Amino acid sequence: MSNEESYVVDKGVIDEPLQKDEDKPFSAADLEPFGNEETAEVKYRTMKWWHCGMLMIAENVSVGILSLPSAVATLGMGPAAIMIIFISALSWYTGYAIGQFKLRHPHIHSMGDAGELLMGRFGRELLGIGQLLLLIFLMASNILTFNILMNVLTDHGACTLVFGVVGLVICFLGALPRTMEKVYWMSVASFVSVLVATIITMITAGVETKGHVVNEATTEVSFREGFLAITNIIFAYLAHVAYFGFMSETEDPRTFNKSLAMLQIIDTVLYLVSALLIYHYVGPNVKSPAISSLSPLMSKIAWGIAIPTTILSGVVLGHVACKYIYVRIFRGSNQMHSRSLLSIGSWVAICLGVWLLSWVVAESIPVFNDLLSLISALFGSWFSFGLPAVFWLHMNKGQYFQNYKKAFLTITNVLIFGISCAICGLGLYVSGAAIHDDSRSNSWSCANSA
């Protein structure tokens, strides 16, 4: 069976598979963003499903996992556990919808491509720019996390700007491989790093516990505090922006459901166990990230072990951002698969430009975490929840109430779209209030960021 004929859409979500017009047969270039790779010098579609799954884990699970115990402290153990499970289930379903949309439209490589299919040229630019903004801000957050980490490890032994430049150089060098398969090995190191750092934090929190710790099953908090805690959980599941790119570089995109299951099971188990256990031992005064709640020595040890995930999760995000630009420039050109000076030089220049931009953002915005929440609310809520619902409605146009199953799924996706609107609107509100109240200004400063 040829590559063009191998795409069959799961009929549990879509009733009609991709149809082939006998008068105008699809070519590999029409169906795949990387075209026909049989004789290509550089091949991109080389990943197995477990490679894809590990990349998704590295993109999604990083030091941010250790901010969840503070969300539990705000919400209480019961509501926080329910929210983690609910958002995980929602994220799993919307990821599945993205996978089905990709199988229906194999040429899609990015959210920009999906936007063009939905809204033409305007949609392509809107979602493409939104995807780049979200990725660049997330990359910048990795540089800021690296600054904090180095300040802790060295007791602010150098100017924070110096640490930022070191982080920039390391991330840039890690981004140089052009194919996802090579980045896969970095994702393995990233996952091992965050797993060990999380285990050390959990064990140390238990060992260092002094006296009786009061754990609240439920709490009473203001709307703003409660919603900010919920957004911490929501943002732990914002990997969807890269799914089209990951699927495009797998040998068989139909195996994406296995990769998605691998991600959702591993990250949800880690989130639940670490968040609840650390909160149980540390109590309501747990800091974010939880590593900061440990003794100085153990905090340094945990941060040291977290160095690979701090760097490499950013490298994965950066690769997705760079690949979007690279594919858009060279799509349909032989340069895509070439090792020529133009191809390699363009990739290096794109990587350098994207990482320089993320570094400038990291050093320039004094209330960066608030602005990160703002960008995540504005774009992340749509890429992870709202747009997948729109994808489903687009794929099933005219069949919304064809039978009971379709009617149920139609109502479900409309509700998911409504949830996305709420996340976006409320997220903009609480982020705007936080920006208004935050008067700190440490941009381009040597001050200790720890």
pLDDT digits (tens, 9 = 90+) for 356-395: 999 998 888 755 556 667 777 878 889 999 999 999 999 9
- The answer on pLDDT for 444 being more than 80 is no
Three-state DSSP at 47 gives strand
What amino acid occupies position 123?
Answer: G
Here the tokens at position 318 are: 């950066």
- 153 neighbors 304 (Cβ within 8 angstroms): yes
- The answer on pLDDT for 422 being more than 60 is yes
The CATH homologous superfamily of the domain defined by 43-364: Hydantoin permease (1.10.4160.10)
pLDDT digits (tens, 9 = 90+) for 134-162: 899 889 888 988 988 898 898 888 888 89
| Number of Cβ atoms within 10 Å of the Cβ of 291 | 27
Per-residue pLDDT band for 39 (boundaries 50, 70, 90) equals: confident
d(CA 416, CA 126): 21
Per-residue pLDDT at 7 = 45
- 352 neighbors 133 (Cβ within 8 angstroms): no
**30 sits in which H/E element:** helix 28-31
pLDDT digits (tens, 9 = 90+) for 64-86: 788 899 889 999 999 999 999 99
- 309 neighbors 57 (Cβ within 8 angstroms): no
Share of the chain above pLDDT 70, in %: 88
Per-residue pLDDT at 9 = 43
Per-residue pLDDT band for 15 (boundaries 50, 70, 90) equals: very low
- The answer on pLDDT for 195 being more than 90 is yes
Here the tokens at position 254 are: 């139909």
pLDDT digits (tens, 9 = 90+) for 80-130: 999 999 999 999 999 999 999 999 999 999 999 999 999 999 999 999 999
pLDDT digits (tens, 9 = 90+) for 254-278: 999 999 999 999 999 999 999 999 9
Residues 6+ apart with CB under 8 A from 173: none
Per-residue pLDDT band for 31 (boundaries 50, 70, 90) equals: low
Task: Name the one residue in this structure whose structure tokens are 């968040």.
Answer: 275
- The answer on pLDDT for 289 being more than 50 is yes
Residues 6+ apart with CB under 8 A from 57: 187, 191, 262, 263, 266, 267
User: What is the torsional sign of CA 129, 267, 250, 91?
Assistant: negative
> Chain-centre distance of CA 74, in angstroms?
24
Per-residue pLDDT band for 350 (boundaries 50, 70, 90) equals: very high
- 249 neighbors 100 (Cβ within 8 angstroms): no
Per-residue pLDDT at 440 = 55
Helix axes 77-104, 387-395, angle to 10 degrees: 40
- 65 neighbors 196 (Cβ within 8 angstroms): no
Radius of gyration of the chain (CA): 22
The residue extents of the domains of the chain are 43-364
How high is the mean pLDDT of the chain?
85
Of 416, 412, 419, residue with least CA distance to 13: 412
- The answer on pLDDT for 5 being more than 50 is no
d(CA 17, CA 9): 5
Q: How many residues does the chain have?
A: 450
- The answer on pLDDT for 6 being more than 50 is no
pLDDT digits (tens, 9 = 90+) for 232-246: 888 788 889 999 999
Per-residue pLDDT at 117 = 92
Here the tokens at position 356 are: 């320089």
State phi, psi for 47 to the nearest 5 degrees: -85, 140
